[in-house]
Structure 1
Amino acid sequence: MVDSVGESLDRALEGAFTRRIPQSAQAQMKYLVKQLKGTKAAAQALGISQRTVERYVAGKLKRPRRDLRDRIEREVKKRWQPQIRAKARKKAASTGGLVVSTRARFGFEAAGGTTDDARIRDITQALPPQWADRLFTAREQGANEQQLQQIAADGLAQMYFRANNSRAHGLGVEFTDVERLDIEL
């Protein structure tokens, strides 16, 4: 399964963490209960019963099944080191930018049969801070995957295909069939 733009943004921010997340199911569950201010809220976030959460916190249950383990880890990572995450986001959006590495089908709005026909390309391109800011802001405002992909495509079009708008003015880029997508800060 291919990562979404949103998942890639989250993973990029996780790379800034200065400490590892709690490792045991009990420690992760205790962290979630503390962050969500109660076992009921933690149970709702994970889609399990409140009693199950209490059993993990007490240490009576120790090894969650794979899907629950993945949900617990995802919820912990979502809330882990919020200040570090915010600092990394601010740096990317103000000075650092980000690097998008993808393997996807890129094509251009042009007549069929030309060299502008869509084809699979491997592209690794640094995007300046304004594109990082647009992506993070859209993610925070609840943009769907298609909207995030469009922002990434616009950034790649400007920086890679139009060389920061120094050539190929007005070139419309299509970004589809994403096979791989990684974002780094």
Structure 2
Amino acid sequence: MEQTEAQWQPQVRAQARRRAATSGGLVIYCRAFGFGPERSSDAGQKKDIMTAVSPTHADRILTARKTGATDDDLREMVAEAIADAYFRKEGGGRAGLHVEFKDVERLDISF
């Protein structure tokens, strides 16, 4: 059983990554302090956010992780994905908005 599971698990994960990068995207849940647009009421408060990010962002994050990106690089990519999906609504109206992502208490990413 262990051998079958050891062979099966990487295949299931690879399929989930492909699906996330091509059609499904990722769901990101985070709790961070100071997460929000600069000079807004959100900027200085602890905030819980759950949002689905696009397959394009999912592909960037998963590829970077696979190729050995640093934690800082990954944090920047996750912040950009959340900013687009949650604050900018995929470019609608607030495309130039800069979002800070710091003092992260919790970060969960799921397929």
Does TM, scored on the shorter chain, surpass 0.5? yes
Structure 1 residue 95 corresponds to structure 2 residue 35: no
Q: Which residue of 2 aligns with 1:132?
A: 58
Matches within 5 A, 1:1-185: 22=2, 81-105=9-33, 106-110=35-39, 115=41, 117-185=43-111
Q: Which runs of 4+ in 1 moved over 4 A?
A: none
Greater share of strand? 2
Q: Secondary structure at the match of 2:102?
A: strand
Q: Secondary structure at the match of 2:105?
A: strand
Deviation at 1:167, TM superposition (A): 2.1
Instruction: Provide the rounded CA distance (Å) in 1 between the counterparts of 2:107 and 2:23.
Output: 22
Q: Secondary structure at the match of 2:101?
A: strand
Pair 1:117–1:86, CA change in 2 (3 A): closer
What are the superposed Cα offsets for residues 7-26 of structure 1, whole Å, 9 maximum, x if unpaired?
xxxxxxxxxxxx8xx4xxxx
Instruction: Provide the rounded CA distance (Å) in 2 between the counterparts of 1:157 and 1:90.
Output: 23
Contact 2:43 / 2:100 at 8 angstroms: preserved in 1? no
Instruction: Provide the rounded CA distance (Å) in 1 between the counterparts of 2:43 and 2:110.
Output: 29
Percent sequence identity over aligned pairs: 46
Deviation at 1:116, TM superposition (A): 5.2
Q: How many residue pairs are counted as aligned between the two chains?
A: 108
Instruction: Provide the rounded CA distance (Å) in 2 between the counterparts of 1:123 and 1:176.
Output: 13
Contact 2:30 / 2:106 at 8 angstroms: preserved in 1? yes
User: Which residue type is aligned with residue 16 of structure 2?
Assistant: A
Gaps of 5+ in 2: none
Point out which structure has higher relative CO (alpha carbons under 8 A, 6+ apart): 2
Q: TM-score, normalised by structure 1?
A: 0.53
Contact 2:37 / 2:97 at 8 angstroms: preserved in 1? yes
Q: Secondary structure at the match of 1:138?
A: helix
Instruction: Provide the rounded CA distance (Å) in 2 between the counterparts of 1:155 and 1:117.
Output: 17
User: Which residue type is aligned with residue 25 of structure 2?
Assistant: G
User: Which residue type is aligned with residue 183 of structure 1?
Assistant: I
Gaps of 5+ in 1: 1-18, 23-30, 32-76
